[in-house]
Chains A and B, each alone.
Chain A
């Protein structure tokens, strides 16, 4: 579903921040993307979500060469990818319900057709009583869950999550991880960027992609 072939990235004329990345993300797979702070996890996620173009190498996504995609095609592919941003990226003037419903709304779907679906997901992530709340009054954990719900609402084929448990307590982090695992079991490929070793140990069978000094090392998970 996602293949990197000798991908490199540099900003401007600086040194390469990522070098010779060759790996693939298989459908229905689960992996953690980890490494020290500043190693390039977020940058790699941005390459995966096509918000950055590599300076060399090739990326194939859903069978298409990313370099040859036009804007419309990229938009169509993005609708098959759910993204949880580290800084949430919720729109402050929209309610929690509207933020979570946003990906469906921009697809042009009628509100009455997705209302129950959004409400169900919001209750499931524990935001049933906060549907009309605006993001500025939500706690960090609530914003995190709203951002995750927004990424999940389109039932993506690929979910990319950047530090999705960074702002929540350990019990909620475990609950969110179960949510990602369930999503994975329902057929979604999941990539979670985190440096929380405890979280990764809870799902030891997951593959680990470790970024460090611009390179990527891959550790296959333990057999369950």
Chain B
């Protein structure tokens, strides 16, 4: 060992290779599985967030509207009565505007039940005034009620009963979407766990060699954890990136096609179909969580294998 030796050039010597093989069939399969599961989970999360956003929009819009119903008595000048009530309502504090439905608009509302072309001239059809409240006065209807106090034919409907049903329906939709997302996360975690175990199956030889050449358990576990964290990040970036791209494209298509009937139908349920920054942050969080889960699972598996070694 004393013979003087020339030092080989640093460039020729391969060194600092990862202790866990960076490329393997099982590793590639794990990346693909994580990418697919992350994509599906992010789609579910995004859809849940879109529905939640849209339901907030419905509630805000509906809660701002109240309806005044006028039941004219025999001999009343209906049009004058409607105009007087509309003016009184519009002047009340907290009201943004009051829009009286014309006779033909009121009759049109009954058309679905009575059919087209029916002469409703002789029927005492109630007239409606839709009042939009200012955003900060939606729960304060006292001044409006006071303004209508001297209008005996007018009654105020704050739509609370219907609003409560709408709230329950919207909450149900959001809860369903959240439950779907939770199931997706459980499925993703389970599948990732199995795939990580599969990818770790060939690692026992490496773990044993490292163990017997004097590597501490934490060192071995750290090597595997960082390797699988990288695999998880690659898969999650592919899946999460795909989902983010999907939502960005969907928002663009939705904006471009906003005037079509189909787009209006979709907008009714999903709003503008545009995920807000918080939605993209949720996708990022899902990606990070799945990568972390993959790393931690591999760490736990290494420690379990090390426990079986003396």
Q: Which residues of A contact B (CB under 8 A)?
A: 49-53, 71-72, 74-75, 78-79, 83, 85, 89-91, 93-95, 97-98, 101-103, 105-108, 111, 115-116, 119-121, 123-124, 128, 131-132, 150, 154
Contact = CB atoms under 8 A, between A and B. Distances in A.
Interface string B206-237: 10111011111101000000000000000000
27 contacts: A51-B212, A71-B217, A75-B214, A75-B216, A78-B214, A83-B212, A89-B208, A91-B19, A91-B206, A93-B17, A94-B17, A98-B15, A98-B17, A101-B15, A102-B210, A102-B213, A105-B19, A106-B214, A107-B214, A116-B7, A119-B5, A119-B7, A120-B5, A123-B3, A123-B5, A124-B1, A131-B13
B7 A95 contact: no
Interface in B6-25: 7-8, 12-17, 19, 21
B214 A79 contact: yes
Nearest to A108: B219
A74 B13 contact: no
Given A89-B208, A91-B209, A106-B219, A52 B13 contact: no
Contact of B16 (A89, A111, A128): A111
- Which of B8, B206, B208, B213 has the largest number of chain A CB atoms within 10 A? B213
A78 B17 contact: no
Interface of B: 1, 3, 5, 7-8, 12-17, 19, 21, 205-206, 208-210, 212-217, 219, 309-310
A74 B307 CA distance: 13
A106 B215 contact: yes
A89 B209 contact: yes
A106 B5 contact: no
**Which DSSP category, helix, strand, loop or mixed, fits chain B's interface?**
loop
A84 B66 CA distance: 87
Ordered nearest first, which 7 A-B pairs have the shortest CB separation? A106-B215, A79-B214, A93-B21, A103-B213, A78-B214, A95-B14, A132-B14
A102 B154 CA distance: 90
B23 to A, nearest CB: 9
A85 B12 CA distance: 29
A97 B7 CA distance: 14
A171 to B, nearest CB: 19
A121 B206 CA distance: 23
Contacts of A97: 13-15
Nearest to A94: B17
A83 to B, nearest CB: 6
Contact of A75 (B5, B15, B208, B217): B217
A115 B214 contact: no
A124 B3 contact: yes
Contacts of A50: 310
Given A78-B212, A91-B205, 19 more contacts: A51-B309, A72-B216, A75-B215, A78-B213, A79-B214, A85-B212, A89-B212, A97-B14, A97-B15, A101-B15, A102-B210, A103-B214, A106-B210, A106-B213, A106-B216, A115-B13, A119-B13, A124-B1, A132-B13
Given A97-B14, A119-B8, A74 B215 contact: no
A154 B205 CA distance: 21
Contact of B213 (A119, A121, A132, A150): A150
A52 B309 CA distance: 9
A66 B214 CA distance: 16
Nearest to A81: B214
A75 B211 CA distance: 8
